[in-house]
Structure 1
Amino acid sequence: MAQDAAIVVHPPLGTGGRRVTVRGEILGLAHSDADVLEFLRRAGLPDAEMLLDDPSFVTWRGGRAHDYEAA
């Protein structure tokens, strides 16, 4: 089984938004790609926009990637 990337965008919550973690540390609740990018920039990844669709860096769990609507 392949190991998850260090960055995980978790499934959409019932209230909308997706939890974002890096190596298990919760960075926040994202409601858009802009939120995810801001969390990753704060975590020291300034070129994060180039990583969002790279499965070796980001795992999108549950739902479609870039979809933040309530489950």
Structure 2
Amino acid sequence: MAHPSEHPRVVVHAPALDGSRRVTSGDETLGIASHLDDVVEILRLADLDRVEVEESDLIEWEGGGPEEWPGLSEHHDQ
């Protein structure tokens, strides 16, 4: 069995009003993501770059999965 510190549980929280999503590991906030690429970068900076963001059991997506980024389409429609 893997030691908990080797594979911390990462939570991508439900979108805020601006569409951004907080990324945490335990009690620690790793960063704020506005896009899936941001989650990948936040995990890379936390030395978790070997995690498959969209498929990993180590990541819990609250309030929608990796494709849920409210407000993102508004930026592309301008």
Asked if the contact 1:17/1:68 (under 8 Å) is kept, the reply is yes
Aligned residues: 64
Larger Rg over CA atoms: 2
Q: Which runs of 5+ in 1 are unaligned?
A: none
Partner of 2:70: 69
- Describe the shift of the 1:64–1:52 C-alpha distance in structure 2 as closer, same or farther (beyond 3 A): closer
Report runs of 4+ in structure 1 exceeding 6 Å deviation: none
2:19 to 16, 21, 25: 16
Partner of 1:52: 54
TM-score w.r.t. length of structure 2: 0.70
CA distance in 1, matches of 2:14, 2:64: 6
TM-score w.r.t. length of structure 1: 0.75
Q: Which has the higher strand share?
A: 1
The SS at the match of 2:40 is helix
Asked if the contact 1:7/1:57 (under 8 Å) is kept, the reply is yes
Q: Which runs of 5+ in 2 are unaligned?
A: 1-7, 72-78
Percent of residue pairs identical: 36
CA RMSD, 1 decimal: 1.7
